[in-house]
Amino acid sequence: MDDALMTAGIVIITGLVVVFTVLVVLIFLIWAFGKIVTSITNRPKKEKSQPQAQDKAEVKAVSPSVKQATVSPQAEDGLSDEIVAVIAAAVASLSESTGVSYGIKSIRRANSGRPSWATAGVLENTRPF
Amino acid sequence: MFEGIFDSIQNLINGSGFGLQYWQNYLMILIACFLLFLAIVKKYEPLLLVPIAFGMILANLPLAGLMGMPTNEMIAIPVNDLIQATGKTLDEIRQTFSADQINDVLNALHPEDTHSYPIVWQAVQDQMLPFWNKPAQNGGLLYYLYQGVKLGIYPPLIFLGIGAMTDFGPLIANPKSFLLGAAAQMGIFITFFCAVLLAFPNNEAASIAIIGGADGPTAIYVTSKLAPHMLGPIAVAAYSYMALVPIIQPPIMKLLTTKKERSVVMTQLRPVSKTEKVIFPILVAIVVSLILPSAAPLVGMLMLGNLFRESGVVDRLSKTVQNELINIVTIFLGVTVGATANGQTFLTWDTIKIILLGLAAFAVATASGVLFGKIMYVVTKGKVNPLIGSAGVSAVPMAARVAQKVGQKENPGNFLLMHAMGPNVAGVIGSAVAAGVLIAIFG
- Show me where the domains of chain B are located: 19-67, 71-137, 149-442
Mean pLDDT of A97-120: 72
Give me the pLDDT at residue B77, please.
59
Same domain for A53 and A89, yes or no, is: no
Closest residue of chain B to A128, computed from CA coordinates: B47
Closest residue of chain B to A16, computed from CA coordinates: B186
In this complex, do A129 and B326 lie within 8 Å of one another by their Cβ atoms? yes
Alpha-helical segments (H) within B166-263: 169-173, 177-183, 186-197, 202-209, 216-226, 231-243, 245-256, 259-262
pLDDT at A62 over 60: no
Residue A23 to residue A18: CA distance in whole angstroms: 9
Residue A39, min C-alpha distance to chain B (Å): 12
Residue B170 CA from chain centroid, whole number: 28
Instruction: Evaluate whether B350 touches B208 at the Cβ level (below 8 Å).
Output: no
Maximum alpha-carbon separation in chain B: 99
- With a CB cutoff of 8 Å and minimum separation 6, the contacts of A66 are none
Mean pLDDT of B144-169: 91
Mean pLDDT of A103-118: 71
Same domain for A13 and A61, yes or no, is: yes
Q: Of B54, B1, B65, which Cα lies nearest the Cα of B29?
A: B54
Closest residue of chain B to A13, computed from CA coordinates: B189
Strand, coil or helix: B73: strand
Same domain for A58 and A76, yes or no, is: no
Which among A8, A15, A127 has CB closest to B437?
Answer: A15
Residues belonging to chain A: 129
Give me the pLDDT at residue B107, please.
81
pLDDT in tens, B416-433: 988 999 999 999 999 999
Beta bridge partners, A75, equal: A107
In this complex, do A15 and B273 lie within 8 Å of one another by their Cβ atoms? no
In this complex, do A23 and B190 lie within 8 Å of one another by their Cβ atoms? no
Q: Of B232, B247, B421, B250, which Cα lies nearest the Cα of B341?
A: B232
Mean pLDDT of B269-282: 89
Q: What does the buried/exposed string (b/e) look like for B377-388 if buried means 16 or more CB atoms within 10 Å of the residue's CB?
A: beeeeeebbbbb
pLDDT at A66 over 70: no
Give me the pLDDT at residue B154, please.
93
Give me the pLDDT at residue B37, please.
93
Same domain for A52 and A93, yes or no, is: no
Which among B178, B197, B291 has CB closest to A27?
Answer: B178
Q: What does the buried/exposed string (b/e) look like for B218-241 if buried means 16 or more CB atoms within 10 Å of the residue's CB?
A: bbbbbbbbbbeebbbbbbbbbbbb
Q: What does the buried/exposed string (b/e) look like for B257-275 if buried means 16 or more CB atoms within 10 Å of the residue's CB?
A: beeebbbbebeebeebbeb
A–B: how many Cβ contacts below 8 A? 114
Same domain for A95 and A36, yes or no, is: no
Which among A16, A23, A30 has CB closest to B189?
Answer: A16
B175 contacts chain A (CB < 8 A): yes
pLDDT in tens, B431-441: 999 999 999 99
Give me the pLDDT at residue A127, please.
56
Same domain for A37 and A94, yes or no, is: no
- Contact map slice: B 330-359 vs A, CB within 8 A: 330
% of chain B with per-residue pLDDT over 90: 49
Same domain for A95 and A112, yes or no, is: yes
Give me the pLDDT at residue A57, please.
47
Same domain for A90 and A120, yes or no, is: yes
B292 contacts chain A (CB < 8 A): yes
Alpha-helical segments (H) within B60-139: 79-86, 90-96, 99-109, 117-126
Same domain for A6 and A32, yes or no, is: yes
Residue B287 to residue B306: CA distance in whole angstroms: 16
pLDDT in tens, B159-178: 999 999 998 989 999 999 99
Residue B9 to residue B213: CA distance in whole angstroms: 53
Could you tell me which residue, B174 or A55, shows the higher pLDDT? B174
Confidence band (pLDDT; 50, 70, 90) for B129? low
Percent helix, strand, coil in chain A, to 5, is 75, 5, 20
In this complex, do A22 and B433 lie within 8 Å of one another by their Cβ atoms? yes
Give me the pLDDT at residue A59, please.
46
pLDDT in tens, B80-99: 777 878 888 878 888 888 88
Q: How many domains does chain A have?
A: 2
Task: Sort out which chain A residues have CB atoms less than 8 A from B276's CB and list them.
Answer: 33-34, 37
Same domain for A95 and A61, yes or no, is: no
- Contact map slice: B 73-132 vs A, CB within 8 A: none
Confidence band (pLDDT; 50, 70, 90) for A129? very low
Mutate to test the interface with A, among B239, B275, B402 (most CBs of A within 10 A): B275
ipTM of this predicted structure = 0.75
Domain of A77 in residue numbering reads as 71-129
Instruction: Evaluate whether B322 touches B204 at the Cβ level (below 8 Å).
Output: no
pLDDT in tens, B378-409: 999 999 999 999 999 988 888 998 999 999 88
Dihedral pair phi/psi, residue B120, rounded to 5°: -65, -40
Task: Sort out which chain A residues have CB atoms less than 8 A from B283's CB and list them.
Answer: 26, 29-30, 33
Cα-Cα-Cα-Cα dihedral of A72, A73, A77, A81, to 10°?
A: -50
Same domain for A4 and A40, yes or no, is: yes
Residue B45 to residue A126: CA distance in whole angstroms: 10
In this complex, do A129 and B162 lie within 8 Å of one another by their Cβ atoms? yes
Cis-peptide into B397, omega within 30 deg? yes
Residue B49 to residue B142: CA distance in whole angstroms: 17
A129 contacts chain B (CB < 8 A): yes
Q: Of B370, B412, B409, which Cα lies nearest the Cα of B388?
A: B370
What does the radius of gyration of chain A's CA atoms come to, in whole angstroms? Answer: 28
A6 contacts chain B (CB < 8 A): no
Beta bridge partners, A106, equal: A74
Mutate to test the interface with B, among A3, A6, A22, A123 (most CBs of B within 10 A): A22
Same domain for A64 and A102, yes or no, is: no
